[in-house]
Structure 1
Amino acid sequence: MEATQIYSSPQIESVYLEQRKVFLWGEVNDNSARYLIDRFLYLEAVDPTRPISLYIHSPGGSTYAGLAILDVMNSVRPPVYTTCLGMAMSFGAVLLLCGDKGNRSAYPHSKILIHQPHVMGEFKGPAEDIRIFAESVKREKDLLNEIMANATGQPLDRIVQDTDRDSWFSAKEALKYGMIDKILGAGIEENESSNRF
C-alpha cells in the first residue's frame, strides 16, 4: 500500500474524529474550509461540550475561506484548541492565534508568519473599480489587524507595524508575543506566564 493511501485511510480519519482531532494541512482554500467546517459542525452535534483540537501546518491562502473557518470556530459551542506543527503562515497563523485562550500551542521548531493580506495576480479595469477594490483590501487588512490585536493582547499599532511586512516568529517568540499559550514536545512545556515581555 502506498504512503498516500495509508495517509488518507478512512480508518485513520475515523480514529482522529473519535478523538476530536481535525487537521489543516496545506492551503487555506474552499476545499480545506469545507473540510474543517464540516468537522467542526459534526463534532459539535456529537458533543457540544468536549473540546475540538485543530492541528495546523499551513502556508495560508484565501482570506475569505479563512474567515469562513474562523466564523464557525467562534460560533460552535465546543472550544477549539489550536496547535502549530511546522508552520502557520498568513491565515494559518490567524487561525492558530484565534484558538481557545490558554489552549493555543506550538511545537518547538514551528515557524509562524504574520503579514498584511496579499493581492494575487493582476487586477485590471476602470479606475473607479480599482479604487473600490483597493478600499476592499484595506478593509480586510484593518479587520485582520483587529482580530490579531484582540487575540494576542498586543496594541493595534504594534500589529499594524508588524504586519506591514512579513514578520516571522519562532515558537518562543510567538509565546512572548501572545500568539500561543504554550510550547509542546520532547518533555518540554513552556507557558505564557513565564515568557511575557
Structure 2
Amino acid sequence: MVMGLQLPITNSLPSSSSSSSPFFLGPRNPRNFRTFCSFNAKAKAKIPVPPINPKDPFLSKLASVAATSPETLLDRPVNSESPPYLDLFDAPKLMATPAQVERSVSYNDQRPSTPPPDLPSLLLHGRIVYIGMPLVPAVTELVVAELMYLQWMDPKEPIYIYINSTGTTRDDGETVGMETEGFAIYDAMMQLKNEIHTVAVGAAIGQACLLLLAGTKGKRFMMPHAKAMIQQPRVPSSGLMPASDVLIRAKEIVTNRDTLVKLLAKHTGNSEETVANVMRRPFYMDATKAKEFGVIDKVLWRGQEKIMSDVAPPEDWDKSAGIKVVDGL
C-alpha cells in the first residue's frame, strides 16, 4: 500500500478524515482503496509504443487508445477468445490482401503500385511482335490479336515482327500445326495498313519464312547468322485413317503447296518454276543467299557495309603477300 501511494503523509492520516478533507486520497472501503492504489501504479507504467505508420488505421487507433486510456490496454482479460486489441474496434477489419502489408513507410514513393507486366506486354508496348515458337493455334491466335491491336492503336506507326520459328513443323520435321496457321498470320499482315518490318533472328523455316518475306518491301531483314529455309508442306500423321481420307488430305497438301509457291514467287520476284524447283527438297539459305534469292532486303550487321567497302579485293591481297597467280589455277 505504501508503494502504491508513495506519499509520506499517508501514515499520519486521521481515521476520521472526511471526503472533504484536502488530504483525502481515496475511498474508505479497503477493497476500493486497494483498487485505487493498483490503478495509480498501472497508470504510471510506461507503455511501449512501436513506430507508427500514419496510413495504418489499426496502429493509429491503438496508439490513440494507449495515450488517452492506458488502463484499456493494461487490464486485458487473461483468457480472451478474440485476438489481442481487436476488440477496440466496433467492426474490426483485417488487411484484405498480402499486398497491403507491403505498403510500409520503408518503401519510397517511386515503388510501383502494381506488378510489372510480362515480357510480351513490354514488347507489345514497343510495337514489337515476337514469334519464337512453332506456329501452333495458340501462337497464331496471339500474333493475329497483337497485329490487330497495334493497328487499332496507331494505323500509321510501323510494326516490327521478330521471327525465330520452325513454322508448322518442329526442328526434326514432325508436323505440329496445319498450314493454315501460317496463312492466317500472312493474311492478317496483308490486311494491315501499317508498314511491317520483319527480322529473322534465328531460324525462319517453312511458313515462318513466308512471314519473313511478307514484310514491307525494303523492310525485310536478317541477322548475320540467321537461317531461312523453304520446303514443301508436310503431310500430318494419318494414323488409322481410311485410305479415302488419306487421299483427301494429300490433295489438300498439294493445294497448299501450290498456294505457297505462288506467294513465295510473288514476294521474292522469282518465277513459280524456280521456286517449285528449289522447294523439291529443303532449301536452306544463310543471310547472304537469302538476300540474293529475294527473301530479305538487308542483312542487319552493324557496320557491315563500311567493313566490306574497306576490304581490298583478293587480287590486292595476293599481290601484297607476294603470291603469283598461275594461269589455269
Instruction: Give the TM-score normalised by the residue count of structure 2.
Output: 0.53
Within 1, Cα distance between the matches of 2:220 and 2:302? Answer: 17
Note the alpha carbon deviations across 1:132-184, whole angstroms, 9 max, x for none: 22211110000001000001001100100111110000000000000000000
- Pairwise CA RMSD of aligned residues? 1.6
Contact 1:88 / 1:96 at 8 angstroms: preserved in 2? yes
**What CA distance in whole angstroms lies between the structure 2 residues aligned with 1:39 and 1:126?**
39
Please state if 1:87 is matched with 2:203: yes
- Correspondence for 1:37: 144
Aligned to 1:156: 272
Percent identity reads 31
In the alignment, residue 303 of structure 2 is paired with which amino acid?
A: G
Contact in 1 for aligned 2:167/2:204 (Cα 8 Å): yes
Residue 237 of structure 2 is aligned to residue 121 of structure 1: yes
> Do the aligned partners of 2:206 and 2:230 also contact (CA within 8 Å) in 1?
yes
Which of 107, 130, 146 in structure 2 is aligned with 1:23?
130
Q: How does 1:7-22 map to 2 (within 5 A)?
A: 10=117, 12-22=119-129
Q: Is the helix fraction higher in 1 or 2?
A: 1
SS at match of 2:304: coil
Alignment correspondent of 1:3: none
- Count of aligned positions: 182
In 1, Cα distance between equivalents of 2:286 and 2:241: 41
Per the TM alignment, residue 129 of structure 1 is displaced from its structure 2 partner at its CA by 2.7
Q: Which stretches in structure 1 are left out of the alignment for 5+ residues?
A: 1-8, 191-197
Distance between the aligned counterparts of 1:189 and 1:33, measured in 2?
Answer: 36
Q: Does the residue aligned with 1:10 lie in a helix, a strand or coil? A: coil
Mapped partners of 1:121, 1:189: distance in 2: 46
Matches within 5 A, 1:93-132: 93-132=209-248
The alignment's TM-score, normalised by the length of structure 1, stands at: 0.87
Taking structure 1 as reference, are residues 132 and 10 closer, same or farther at Cα in structure 2, changes over 3 Å only?
A: same
Q: What amino acid is the match of 2:300?
A: L
The amino acid of 2:161's aligned partner reads L
- Contact 2:235–2:250 (CA under 8 A) maintained in structure 1: no
> What residue in structure 2 maps to residue 184 of structure 1?
300
With 64-73 and 175-184 compared, the bigger mean Cα shift is at 64-73
String of CA shifts for 1:83-139, please: whole Å, max 9, x gaps.
000111111111101111110000000111101001132354443333222211110
Read off the aligned partner of 2:265 and give its amino acid letter: A
Task: Give the CA deviation at 1:24.
Answer: 0.1
